Structure 1
Amino acid sequence: MLGGTGEVLDLGRARRTFTRAQRIALAERDGGCAWPGCPHPPGYAEAHHLKWWEKDDGPTDLANGILLCSGCHHRIHDNGWQIEIVDNVPWFIPPASVDPARTPHRGGRVSIDALAS
């Protein structure tokens, strides 16, 4: 997959870290930290591999990336949350210790209404 200026956006296992072009594409989709209700903008977020680079041999591709701020990124790694992207929308699935039903929560862009309440 190529970006608007011909930059490669799917790198497979050739590189561990996401490129600037990939982070821009993720920012377009996620709007910043994708954790439900987190207001941190793209500049405060880091690209996370959905299938982890080391543990799962996850590729550095757009379909395997998501933006998370440092706190939310640690929550994923330390507390057993899972993330799925369905129709370009991130869904966060809590561990059974948080929600025995493991009900998914929609993530992505924070709406103005959510910030106002």
Structure 2
Amino acid sequence: LDGTPIVAFAEGDDPDGFEFLETLREVAQDRRDQPDFSILWIDPRDFPGLVPTWEDTFDIDLSRPQLGVVNATDPASSVWLDMEDEEDLPGPEEVLEWLQEVLEGDTGDGEDEDD
């Protein structure tokens, strides 16, 4: 992972946010043997003045949980987990699979980095 910033936005006291944070805890627990693996959790309610900036910069909706691999030099090219289904948040296996794909260069946009 080499220090790649993985960021999660979720409201800890919201039912969906709590469920998603539990999933991320499970993912982190599974990766505890990898010292470079970490997920930065940000509760948007703690930073209300930054919510519009984050939503504009990353083109995300912070009214729902979000997980992304952030490109620190070009934030607009950061990759965010598609969580369109409001009824079903991703489980630990889906999150891990997505993270592995993104960190290996498969952004899911139909373009490979090798092209």
Whether TM-score is above 0.5 comes out as no
With a CA cutoff of 8 Å and minimum separation of 6, indicate the structure with the bigger relative contact order: 2
Q: Which has the higher helix share?
A: 2
TM-score normalised by the chain length of structure 2:
0.34
